[in-house]
């Protein structure tokens, strides 16, 4: 091979990324820098937004082969963990190992707040359909209202993989903005008297109940909604590691090293999917707007159901804990505590809000399971129209067989 | 579009019903579980008798009054039955 100085210099110059740099790449590099800035200097979900932002940065460096679609590239391998639904359930394993279900077990009716907050998922689904998304895409967008990153990624990768990047970014961005989004909505829907309600101290729960609970939830929920098993099953396994007391090493690994490693892989994989082709679309702006609607409606749904519980219990439930039903553990519970303390500094709502908060995790996983059952699982029929048709039949049977 | 919106509304109503149903089943299950296996406070650790405790025994009536006052305050604060608390002098 004849190498002259000129030809070598020309070859190197032609192989640089500058030759393939487009305006789309430049915009995405700027967006990635904004994400990194928000993570480091504004501390918006830094554990996630930093690797997502840096993954996006690497994916948009031309010729680097670091986007999720570059066969053989490093981040393409990481992305297989999303495609094959490996990483989100592993995050749930770590979340389960970190979660104390004690407050939920002490006051199980707070599970209803976790269910009510899922109204954000479905109002967003309707909004997404109105904006022109099909049913599968709308379901993947709606789950942003569950305020649960791994669930959003799990459903997006299953139902609308082409929308994974904007959905994940919207979910994690709004989760970091929970302290800004929720308080005005909470104050709007509650009176000062309701916000001042002091709740009774939670009763202690026996360790046996804490051990049986994850096994029972897995059996009950996964029998009713098999599609939820990867998420809920792993969540409950992680919790069983924690509560059983006989798997200290597994528990410690799941709640520290494993969840940290998986978070790095998952966030980089999501970042690698943020290419100019997939992100710079009108749909992204729609998803960002719908994500805000999802969080707002979920908060409103939880607080309004909290008000209903306040009325039904004769003022024993503080409606502010309803907003924690959106999941976003533990930030949403902290917001309930903060807004409650604004009215009464001696009012400690944090432990009471942890009940609906962890109920929100179960609620959003169940909502995801319903979507999988309807639109994703071959048993229920992959065709969304067939699923909707079967729903119409059920509705007509309930309505008197018209 | 109207047909798809109708489908979305149907899916939403049915899905919310399923979520409430599943979580209501869980609530009932938890309540049954908690009732079947109530919390039992761990037995208090045996306290070794020391010279100091023997001296304290001499003024037992005064210590009993203190314990009664502390138990009363604690039960009022925690909203529990006095029988659930077991406060002992050191």
Confidence at residue A175, expressed as pLDDT on a 0 to 100 scale: 87
Q: CA separation (Å) from B70 to B42, B52, B73, B78, B79?
A: 20, 21, 5, 12, 14
Q: Answer whether A115 touches B (CB < 8 Å).
A: yes
Q: Which residues contact A157 (CB under 8 A, 6 or more apart)?
A: A82, A83, A85, A88, A164
Confidence at residue A341, expressed as pLDDT on a 0 to 100 scale: 94
State mean pLDDT over A130-159. Answer: 93
Element (H, E) at A212: helix A207-224
User: What is the length of chain B?
Assistant: 90
Confidence at residue A282, expressed as pLDDT on a 0 to 100 scale: 93
Q: State how far the Cα of A383 lies from the Cα of A355, in Å rounded to an integer.
A: 37
Confidence at residue A188, expressed as pLDDT on a 0 to 100 scale: 96
Q: Answer whether A353 touches B (CB < 8 Å).
A: no
Q: Would B45 be classed as within a structural domain?
A: no
Centroid of chain to Cα A126: 19
Give the residue with greater pLDDT, B87 vs A4: A4
Q: State how far the Cα of B80 lies from the Cα of B28, in Å rounded to an integer.
A: 24
Domain containing B15 equals 1-38
Q: Is A315 exposed, middle or buried (0-12, 13-18, 19+ CB in 10 A)?
A: exposed
Q: State how far the Cα of A173 lies from the Cα of A153, in Å rounded to an integer.
A: 14
Tell me the ipTM for this assembly: 0.84
Q: Answer whether A388 touches B (CB < 8 Å).
A: yes
Q: Which residues contact A306 (CB under 8 A, 6 or more apart)?
A: A113, A317, A318, A319, A320, A321, A322, A323
A interface test, pick of B2, B5, B26 with most A CB neighbours within 10 Å: B26
Q: Would B55 be classed as within a structural domain?
A: no
Query: Which of B10, B23, B78 is facing A392, going by the closest CB pair?
Result: B10
* A231-248 tens-digit pLDDT: 999 999 999 999 999 999
Q: CA separation (Å) from A204 to A267, A296, A345, B80?
A: 37, 33, 25, 11
Confidence at residue A78, expressed as pLDDT on a 0 to 100 scale: 95
Q: Would B4 be classed as within a structural domain?
A: yes
Banded pLDDT at B64 (limits 50, 70, 90):
confident
Q: State how far the Cα of A373 lies from the Cα of B22, in Å rounded to an integer.
A: 14
HSE of A263, CA atoms in CB hemisphere, 13 A = 20
Provide the domain count of chain B: 2
Banded pLDDT at A5 (limits 50, 70, 90):
confident
Q: Would B72 be classed as within a structural domain?
A: yes
Radius of gyration of chain A (CA): 23
The pLDDT > 90 percentage for chain A reads 75
Q: Answer whether B23 touches A (CB < 8 Å).
A: yes
Q: Would B48 be classed as within a structural domain?
A: no
Sign of CA dihedral B70, B74, B76, B82: negative
Query: Could you give the 3-state DSSP secondary structure of residue A381?
Result: coil
Banded pLDDT at A1 (limits 50, 70, 90):
low
B42 pLDDT above the threshold of 90: no
State mean pLDDT over A108-131. Answer: 94
**Are B1 and B34 within one domain?**
yes
Confidence at residue B77, expressed as pLDDT on a 0 to 100 scale: 76
Give the mean pLDDT of chain A.
Answer: 90
**Are B32 and B65 within one domain?**
no
Sketch the domain layout of chain A as residue ranges.
25-59+84-374
Other residues' Cβ atoms within 10 Å of the Cβ of residue A25 = 17
State mean pLDDT over B25-32. Answer: 93
A272 pLDDT above the threshold of 50: yes
Q: Which residues contact A149 (CB under 8 A, 6 or more apart)?
A: A48, A91, A168, A171, A172, A175
Q: DSSP readout, A239-282?
A: HHHHHHSS-HHHHHHIIIIIHHHHHHHHHHHHHHT--HHHHSSH
* A354-379 tens-digit pLDDT: 999 999 999 999 999 999 988 985 55
B interface test, pick of A122, A125, A395 with most B CB neighbours within 10 Å: A122
Q: Would B12 be classed as within a structural domain?
A: yes
Q: State how far the Cα of A347 lies from the Cα of B78, in Å rounded to an integer.
A: 14
Q: Answer whether A319 touches B (CB < 8 Å).
A: no
Query: Which of B10, B31, B33 is facing A391, going by the closest CB pair?
Result: B10
Confidence at residue B83, expressed as pLDDT on a 0 to 100 scale: 67
Confidence at residue A381, expressed as pLDDT on a 0 to 100 scale: 44
Both tokens assigned to A208: 């046996």
Q: State how far the Cα of A227 lies from the Cα of A274, in Å rounded to an integer.
A: 27
* A50-61 tens-digit pLDDT: 999 999 999 999
Banded pLDDT at A386 (limits 50, 70, 90):
low
CB spacing of B23 vs A225 below 8 angstroms: no
State mean pLDDT over B42-53. Answer: 68
Banded pLDDT at A197 (limits 50, 70, 90):
very high
CB spacing of B22 vs A225 below 8 angstroms: yes
Q: Would B13 be classed as within a structural domain?
A: yes
């Amino acid at each position: 091979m004849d190498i002259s100085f000129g030809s070598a210099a020309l070859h190197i110059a032609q192989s640089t990324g500058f030759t393939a740099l487009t305006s789309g790449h430049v915009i995405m590099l700027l967006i990635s820098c904004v994400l990194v800035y928000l993570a480091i200097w504004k501390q918006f979900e830094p554990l996630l937004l930093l690797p997502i932002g840096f993954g996006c940065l690497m994916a948009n460096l031309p010729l680097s082969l670091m986007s999720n679609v570059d066969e053989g590239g490093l981040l393409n391998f990481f992305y297989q963990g999303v495609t094959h639904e490996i990483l989100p359930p592993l995050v749930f394993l770590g979340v389960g190992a970190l979660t104390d279900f004690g407050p939920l077990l002490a006051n199980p009716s707070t599970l209803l707040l976790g269910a009510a907050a899922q109204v954000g998922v479905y109002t967003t689904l309707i909004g997404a359909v109105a904006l022109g998304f099909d049913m599968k895409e709308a379901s993947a967008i709606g789950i942003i209202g569950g305020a649960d990153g791994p669930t959003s990624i799990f459903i997006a990768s299953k139902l609308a993989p082409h929308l994974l990047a904007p959905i994940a970014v919207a979910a994690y961005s709004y989760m970091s903005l929970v302290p800004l989004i929720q308080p005005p909505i909470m104050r709007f829907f509650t009176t000062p008297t309701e916000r001042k309600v002091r709740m009774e101290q939670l009763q202690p729960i026996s360790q046996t109940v804490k051990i049986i609970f994850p096994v029972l939830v897995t059996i009950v929920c996964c029998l009713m909604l098999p599609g939820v098993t990867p998420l809920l099953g792993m969540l409950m396994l992680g919790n069983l590691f924690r509560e059983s007391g006989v798997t200290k090493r597994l528990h410690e690994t799941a709640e520290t090293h494993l969840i940290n490693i998986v978070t790095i892989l998952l966030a980089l994989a999501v970042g690698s999917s943020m290419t100019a082709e997939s992100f710079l679309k009108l749909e992204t702006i729609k998803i960002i707007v719908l994500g805000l609607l999802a969080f707002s409606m979920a908060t409103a749904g939880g607080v309004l159901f909290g008000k209903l519980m306040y009325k039904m219990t004769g003022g024993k439930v503080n409606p502010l804990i309803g907003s924690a039903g959106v999941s976003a553990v533990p930030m949403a519970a902290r917001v309930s505590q903060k807004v409650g303390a604004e009215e009464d500094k001696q009012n400690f709502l944090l432990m009471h809000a942890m009940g609906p908060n962890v109920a929100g995790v179960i609620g959003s996983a169940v909502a995801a399971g319903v979507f999988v059952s309807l639109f994703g699982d071959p048993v229920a029929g992959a065709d969304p129209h067939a699923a909707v048709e079967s729903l119409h039949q059920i509705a007509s049977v309930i309505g008197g067989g018209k | 579009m109207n047909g798809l919106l109708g489908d979305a509304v149907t899916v939403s109503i049915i899905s919310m019903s399923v979520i409430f149903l599943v979580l209501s089943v869980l609530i009932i299950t938890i309540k049954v579980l908690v009732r079947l296996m109530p919390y039992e406070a761990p037995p208090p650790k045996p306290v070794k008798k020391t010279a100091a405790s023997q001296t304290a025994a001499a003024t037992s009536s005064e210590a009993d009054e203190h314990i009664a006052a502390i138990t009363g305050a604690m039960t009022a604060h925690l909203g529990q039955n006095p029988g659930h608390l077991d406060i002992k002098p050191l």
